[in-house]
Amino acid sequence: MTRLLQRLLGRLPIGWLQLTHNPMRFAAALVGVAFANVLVFVQLGIMNSMGTAVLQPYSFFSADVMISASDANALTDGGNVARQWLLQAMADPDVVDGIGLFVGNVPLDRASTDIALTTFGIDPTKPDFLSPLIADDIALLQVQDSALIDRLARGLPRDEAAAIRPQSPLAFETQGRTVTAYSTFAGGGGFGGDGYMIMSDQTFLSLFPARRSAAPDHILLRLRPSADVDATVQRLRKLISDPELRIRSYADAGQEELTYQQTKRPTGIIFGFGVLIGVLVGLVIVYQVLSTDVADHLREYATFKAMGYDQRFFMGIVLEEALILGILGFVPGVTVGGTILTVMGKVTTLPLAVTWSMAATVFVGTVVFSALSGAIATRRLAAADPADLF
């Protein structure tokens, strides 16, 4: 390692030699950096899973434009939308079709489980509004009180979910009715529910008698393949000039909800602070290690100053140490952080994992913030006055 660094740096790797001179302190410093990495990984993992979980239900459907109530910050939030706006939107030449989307929370009452599924009601005669992976089973929903159930739902035994087929459906009680799941799709537990369920709008309305077919939660529109989505949205906003409505592209709706969940909702803000605290902990640990190291070697640094080494040389040593700590601390950090996320993901069924992009972000962040700590620590070098050596 010494020879490799010597070749890379073109000088003696004094930072590396200093760090490894005291193995116990070096190990403690690496544990500290790794700990900060683990904090960041866990918080980022949860934030990322929130992003995945928020966008997950959007992936069940296929649409170009979504019309929602103005207070609908999320797919599962907000007031209803009058179906008349669907008919009004159809007047636009680029709108080819539309459906009402109903959303509700359905408790699943079974002997062994007590879970709540976010349930969507749709028109079962329009498969184009479902993602291709789900659309194949849409005909099953035309049977009253039938449903497609999330096979990754929290609390639903995997083997039981895997056995669900039209020939061996799963029947369960909910809202005082028996609902039968004839097939499954892949969803997963989110922050607002244990999983998902899709059924026909008629079945949905029979589970929620207070809801009316004329007032879905959202309206989904499909446009002609060559249509300009943004231009159509602008036209629809003029056509349906109701301030109580939000008319957005379907893609924008998902991103806006993601932003809302991460920046306006307490959970997103808390996890964001968690990342910040992890970064600060790492910054403080690396700074503490480096500034102590500088303080311990002030006489040696002063000697080097007397010999004619300039400030750039000393900054090079401290940055070398910072980068070594950052890089080597990252390795156990990503290993432990990844393991914790995997275990948490299995327990909660949230999509928790270290992704390549997350690992790259944390690695770059670790290196940058370690270098920043090192740059701050070099201020202590000013105390190394060679005249004091005499």
Partner 1 sequence: MTEDPIVLAQRLNHWFGTGSARKQALYDIDLRLERGSFTVLVGPSGSGKTTLLTLIGCLRLVQEGSLHLMGHELHGAEEAQLVAMRRRLGFIFQAHNLHESLTATQNVMMGAQVHRGVAETAAGGAARHILGLVGLADRTDYLPANLSGGQKQRVAIARALVGNPDLLLADEPTAALDKDSASEAIDLMRRIGAARGMTTLLVTHDPRILDRADRILTLEDGRIVADRRTG
Q: Does 18 bind partner 1 (CB under 8 A)?
A: yes
Of 103-111, 260-268, 296-304, 329-337, the segment contacting partner 1 by CB under 8 A is 296-304
For residues 325 and 314, give the distance between their C-alpha atoms in angstroms, rounded to a whole number: 17
Task: Say whether residue 5 binds partner 1 (CB under 8 A).
Answer: no
Check residue 300 for interaction with partner 1 (CB under 8 A): yes
Nearest by Cα to 338 from 355, 350, 357: 355
Q: Is 11 in the site for partner 1 (CB under 8 A)?
A: yes
- If one asks whether residue 304 binds partner 1 (CB under 8 A), the answer comes out as yes
Q: Which stretch binds partner 1 (CB under 8 A): 59-67, 183-191, 255-263, 293-301?
A: 293-301
Neighbours of 91 (CB within 10 A): 11
Interface with partner 1 in residues 19-58 (CB under 8 A): 20-21
DSSP single-letter state for residue 61: B
**Which DSSP letter does residue 240 get?**
S
Closest to partner 1 by CB, 279 or 317: 317
Closest C-alpha among 59, 138, 63, 124 to residue 95: 63
Q: For partner 1, give the closer residue by CB, 3 or 238.
A: 3
Single out the residue of 310, 343, 347, 360 in contact with partner 1 (rule: CB under 8 A). 310
Which of 42, 9, 32 shows the shortest CA–CA distance to 271? 42
Stretch that binds partner 1, among 69-77, 188-196, 304-312, 364-372 (CB under 8 A): 304-312
As measured in angstroms, the least distance from the Cβ of 40 to partner 1 is 30
CA distance 66 to 97: 12
d(CA 372, CA 214): 59
Number of residues in contact with partner 1 under rule CB under 8 A: 24
Q: Cβ(325)–Cβ(30) under 8 Å?
A: yes
Judged by CB under 8 A, does residue 292 bind partner 1?
no
Comparing C-alpha atoms, which of 263, 289, 290, 260 is closest to residue 275?
263
Quote the CA–CA distance of 156 and 112 in Å, as a whole number: 9
Nearest distance, CB of residue 326 and partner 1, angstroms:
20
Which residues sit opposite 97 in a β-bridge? 222
Applying CB under 8 A, among 163, 227, 239, 306 the residue interacting with partner 1 is 306
Contact call for residue 379 and partner 1 (CB under 8 A): no
Binding site for partner 1 (CB under 8 A): 6, 10-12, 14, 17-18, 20-21, 297, 299-300, 302-304, 306-310, 386-387, 389-390
